[in-house]
Amino acid sequence: MVRNLGVCVASVLVACVALPVVAADTHAKWDSIQKYCTECHNVTDWAGSVAFDAMSVDEIPQDAKIWEAAARKLSAIRAFGRYLRREGAIDGDPAALVGTPKREHRIPNHLAVDEMNKLLEMPDTSQPLGRRDKAILELFYASGLRLSELVGLDVEDLNLSARVVRVLGKGRKERIVPFNQTAGDALRACLRDREALLASNQGQTGVRLGSDHQRRRLKVADPAQARGRGRAREPLFLNYQGGRLSTRSVDKIVRKYVAQCSTRYGISPHALRHSFATHLLEAGADLRAIQELLGHARLSTTQRYTHVNAAQLIDTYRKAHPKA
């Protein structure tokens, strides 16, 4: 039986054997695979003297004792433990017995309706990049997409006439999400600028943008995400060089406009997703419908994304209680 986790992890990871299996077990997307890889390598830094069958939460480094970080490390270790057991390296799977630390429940940041309206007006729509940024903000708020989902959108995923977008979410599950007329108008303007940008880059580089060479530059890093079965992918949102916008770039774009119109801290692209769900619920939308729009597997996950303010709570109480 393998007693030293650090030695075992190092030997297998260096050989690049375990990572694809761990990724397959967790149905992870490319950014998640990278996180699993980082966590598995971090394990080798501290687990050299830890017996794999005697692990506990207390053995996780102190700087990792934030719920999200600790849970991700445990998830990587458990997935690796399943791999070791399947390969016959260990008899049991002690990692499955390690308890997950209790999560601190906090209300996520979100914007009020008037704050959201102000944010959507911030981009300078007289400039191509401003029109692109407005389309990004409008689509975030109109559809409640995750950051990775928005960045991964291709032109073929968009149906402007029906005002719906096809999204590849967590677990590689596809869903169809609607958007409103305002977002549709912003996307039409963005698409016109997109064609002009591609034509401009074609003239500057001398490379035909429809060629295989340029199309390869526009593909995402994870080839498994390609839905076109070998067909070239055309990113919906481009940077000024004609390549796909990265998640970091979109995060910076959102935070820039939030800083210009609000003194609120912690408003990220994911906070716009929270705002989308909260405003739908406040307007009377069914929680099950919101769950489908957000692409959640569990209703309990959707409940964490929604917020009921005190005034709405009191109003509901007065309407529903027989002696209120």
- The catalytic residue positions are 146, 170, 270, 273, 296, 305
To the nearest 10°, the Cα dihedral for 37, 42, 48, 53?
-70
Of 222, 175, 255, the residue nearest 35 (C-alpha): 222
With tokens 């445990």, the residue in question is 74
The one-character DSSP state at 66 is: S
HSE (side-chain half, CA atoms, 13 Å) at 151: 25
Spatial contact of 176 and 138, defined as CB atoms under 8 Å apart: no
Q: Side chain identity at 275, as an amino acid letter?
A: S
Q: Side chain identity at 25, as an amino acid letter?
A: D
Tokens matching residue 147: 């950051």
The burial of 252, by beta-carbon neighbours within 10 Å (0-12 exposed, 13-18 middle, 19 or more buried), is given as exposed
